Amino acid sequence: MDLGLSNKIALVTGASRGLGFAVAEQFLLENAVTIINSRTKGDLLVAQKILLEKTQKKPSFFVGDMVDKNFASMIADFIDNQFHKLDILITNAGGPPPGNFESFTELQWEEAIELSFLSHVRLIRACLSLLRKSECPSVLTITSYSVKQPIPNLILSNSIRSATIGLTKSLALEFAQENIRFNSILPGWTETERVQKLLESRAQKNGTSPETEKQLQEKDIALKRLAKPEEFGKVAAFLSSPAASYMTGLMISVDGGAIKGTY
């Protein structure tokens, strides 16, 4: 199937590693002009080199912090100057720290809201005029399956990501008349650096090892394993591509059957 991504302009934030990197890889394999972002220039240079080796296509990159209030306008200006439009926007960043309700101060709650909610709001707002220049504009917010089923020891993610889901669905309805599609992917347990750190945190809390915690987690997933990042990247590439032109306002779980509810 042709996803229709060839020569489309795609921005993936939080993409020097993990889920964002995996999405960028799929875009490059589909010949999309791809821009990756993270806070660390050295890591972006390494990511650029690896992506070039894997796909024979070189992504552009933009260094910046999603929680910096000026970030959204700066990256939108960069894309406007370089490419004059944006076809696909993937809003993604690192997740909030693990912990239970009494672990966090009010300031930490505010920081998590900045990272996991307001960063999406600002980036979408700054990129709207560029998306309006596209013939197939599409936005994908990366959230978490925690919006459907709270994850132990992740109170910040469990609480705040629901706001990003509400945002995504509202924008899908508000901008449908302009043919701008908005969807969200709810990743389950996927083998990334963040998940390794979460397993280490659980191991420390429970006096076990990260490997034991991984096995415990796998038992709770219908497919009995964690996802590979590329399994996530392929779904993201499809859902944001012109091939999914009739799909908007959707919350798609890529969780191997971790969520036990019917809906």
Residue 189 near ligand NAP by CB under 6 A: yes
Q: Is 194 in the site for ligand NAP (CB under 6 A)?
A: yes
- Shortest separation between residue 141's beta carbon and ligand NAP, angstroms: 10
Positive/negative CA dihedral, 133, 93, 190, 33: positive
| Contact string 14-43 vs ligand NAP (x = CB under 6 A) | xxxxxxx----------------xxxx--x
CB of 6 to ligand NAP, least distance (A): 25
Closest C-alpha among 139, 236, 159, 151 to residue 188: 151
- Are the CB atoms for 33 and 10 separated by under 8 Å? yes
90 binds ligand NAP (CB under 6 A): no
Closer residue to ligand NAP, CB minimum distance, 23 or 136: 23
Cβ-count burial 186-223 (b if 16+ within 10 Å, e if not): bbbbbbbebbeebbebbbeeeeeebeebbeebeeebee
**DSSP-assigned letters across all residues of 118-180:** IHHHHHHHHHHHHHTT-SS-EEEEE--GGGTSPPTTBHHHHHHHHHHHHHHHHHHHHTGGGT-
Task: Answer yes or no whether residue 75 interacts with ligand NAP by CB under 6 A.
Answer: no
Report CA 57 to chain centroid distance, whole Å: 21
98 is a contact residue toward ligand NAP (CB under 6 A): no
**How many other C-beta atoms can be found within 10 angstroms of the C-beta atom of residue 132?**
14
Identify residues 139-168 at the interface with ligand NAP (CB under 6 A).
142, 144, 157
Query: Is 184 among the residues that bind ligand NAP (CB under 6 A)?
Result: no
**Least distance to ligand NAP, CB of residue 42, Å:** 9
The answer to whether residue 230 forms part of the interface with ligand NAP (CB under 6 A) is: no
Q: Is 136 in the site for ligand NAP (CB under 6 A)?
A: no
| Position among 98, 137, 187, 242 found at the interface with ligand NAP (CB under 6 A) | 187
Q: Enter the tokens of residue 207.
A: 């006096």
Residues of this chain that bind ligand NAP (CB under 6 A)? 13-20, 37-40, 43, 65-67, 92-95, 115, 142, 144, 157, 187, 189-190, 192-195
